[in-house]
Amino acid sequence: MTFPSRPEYESLVYSLLDDNPEVVGSTLHLYSTSALTAIVEGRVTLHNGIVLYIVEALDFKVGRIRRYSYTVFRGDKRIRWYDSQSHPEVPALAETFPHHLHEPPDIKHNRKPAPGITFTAPNFPTLIADCVALGASVAAGPSVDSDQEP
């Protein structure tokens, strides 16, 4: 799969609400930082009450996401975040290296593989699907507590 062009990525950002029925709000914006780079920043709100905060640094010349920060909240509780900080000492993360997620309990140290998260394609579809599933599991289970900062 080829990384989207800038106009294609912009279309993804600005049509998120129309293309995803589980999304009820989006403040995402794509800001140019140069002719071939941009920042995507904002939040996506889902029907289930989950709010996903997104920051991406995009490089259209090389066709990749250079950096990202994806943080998931339910109310004022941070219940998950995704990052790409390398943890080669954790064999369980090898399948999606370096991408992984953090979630309770002990959110800072509880790392799990993050299938579908990549530097080479838009992560919105994976993130929205994960947040829909997470909202269902949070609604079905006990209260989730975020006990540590990243």
Nearest partner of 123 among 1, 24, 21, judged by Cα: 1
Q: What is the pLDDT of residues 47-88, one digit of tens each?
A: 999 999 999 999 999 999 999 999 999 999 999 999 999 888
Q: In Å, what is the CA distance from 117 to each residue of 76, 77, 125? A: 24, 22, 10
Q: What is the pLDDT of residue 88?
A: 86
- With a cut of 90, say whether residue 142 has pLDDT above it: no
pLDDT greater than 80 at residue 149: no
Alpha-helix runs per DSSP H in 1-150 = 6-14, 16-19, 124-140
Evaluate if residue 121 carries a pLDDT over 90.
yes
Alpha carbons 37 and 58: distance in angstroms, whole number: 5
Instruction: Indicate the pairing of strand 23-26 with strand 37-46.
Output: antiparallel
Report the chain's mean pLDDT, rounded to a whole number: 91
CB 45 within 8 A of CB 24: yes
Per domain, the residue ranges of the chain are 6-140
- Contact of 67 with 56, CB cutoff 8 Å: yes
* pLDDT above 80: residue 150: no
**13 pLDDT more than 50:** yes
Q: How confident is the model at residue 141 (pLDDT cuts 50, 70, 90)?
A: low
